[in-house]
Structure 1
Amino acid sequence: MRAEDIASSKLFEGLTREQLERCAAPFKEVEMVAGSSLAKQDDFAYKFFVVLEGEVDVHRDFKFVARLGPGDHFGEMALVRNEKRNARVTAHTRCRLGCMMGWDFKAMTDELPTVAERIRAVIAERDD
């Protein structure tokens, strides 16, 4: 994936071009049609996602929690905490996503403390 694809995400805001390129490299682009399942509650987590185009819906215990759009991300909670997924995520519209494996996510957050801190802040916010 190209650095330009993730540059608009607040998660990567302020990173140098070189840092953006290193973050973007392990992402694989996926396209999903509306209604597609992206993550299932209580499944083991092994991927992290950034929404590039379209919208996704987040449900926890069958209750609507949020709608995420371009620049938003999901899948970080279970990876950071080494837990099962706490929500179901489905494509609300046709979506283009960046998808990264868990080991690449860990390497990215280990290498870039700024990104790791932003992820922790999002987790704290989503816990409320």
Structure 2
Amino acid sequence: MKIENHDYDLIKLGFEGEQAITQQLFFKYGKTYEPKKIIVREGDSGKEVYIIISGMVLVTERQISGQYRVLNRLGPGEIFGEMALLENELRSATLIAATDVKLLVLAPEQFERIFQTHPRWAFKIIGALCRRIQSAFTQISNYYSGKSDVP
């Protein structure tokens, strides 16, 4: 199996994590968003996994009124989009750039290559999922204790 040059970059990212994000890697897989720009939209299909290099991203859900309710904030080093990849489902939230944002956008096969070279990425995803479960638990708990009107 021939490994192309860009594969070496992905292998390096797998082993070294965010420290391996170079200009060359960003040129190949990077994308920038200005504040208030939608990165992914709830209900859309997509399999890409996103790694935040810099900036802040808001995880939101659209309300009946057309407004967005903020569910979470993500920053550098955090991953999103893995749920659509793992569950083969539509996007479950709308993600909006809160600041200028730089992301790595990886197709499933690219992310799988990183995953295979270094399993620490599995722990990043498990950590992200645990934080989401904890956040959902807190929201539900606050709702039933009268601290919030939205579950």
Normalising by structure 2, report the TM-score.
Answer: 0.62
- Kindly, what percent of the aligned residue pairs are identical? 24
Cα distance, 1:16 vs structure 2: 4.7
Match of 1:59 in 2: 60
On the 8 A contact 1:110/1:116 being kept in 2, the answer is no
Aligned residue among 89, 105, 109 for 1:103: 109
User: Counterparts of 2:123 and 2:73 in 1: how far apart (Å)?
Assistant: 23
SS at the partner of 2:77?
Answer: coil
SS at the partner of 2:51?
Answer: strand
Give the unaligned 5+ runs of structure 2. 1-5, 63-67, 135-151
Match of 2:40 in 1: 39
User: Counterparts of 2:34 and 2:124 in 1: how far apart (Å)?
Assistant: 29
User: Counterparts of 2:101 and 2:89 in 1: how far apart (Å)?
Assistant: 26
Give the unaligned 5+ runs of structure 1. none
Larger gyration radius, structure 1 or structure 2: 2
Aligned residues: CA RMSD: 2.9
Normalising by structure 1, report the TM-score.
Answer: 0.72
Q: Deviations over 1:68-110 (max 9, x none)?
A: 1222221111112222111100111111111111221122223
User: Counterparts of 2:57 and 2:99 in 1: how far apart (Å)?
Assistant: 7
Match of 2:147 in 1: none
On the 8 A contact 2:79/2:128 being kept in 1, the answer is no
Matches within 5 A, 1:77-96: 77-96=83-102
User: Counterparts of 1:79 and 1:95 in 2: how far apart (Å)?
Assistant: 22
Give the aligned length. 115
User: Counterparts of 1:57 and 1:16 in 2: how far apart (Å)?
Assistant: 26
Cα distance, 1:41 vs structure 2: 0.9
Larger fraction in helix: 2
When structure 1 is superposed on structure 2, of 46-55 and 86-95 the one drifting more is: 46-55
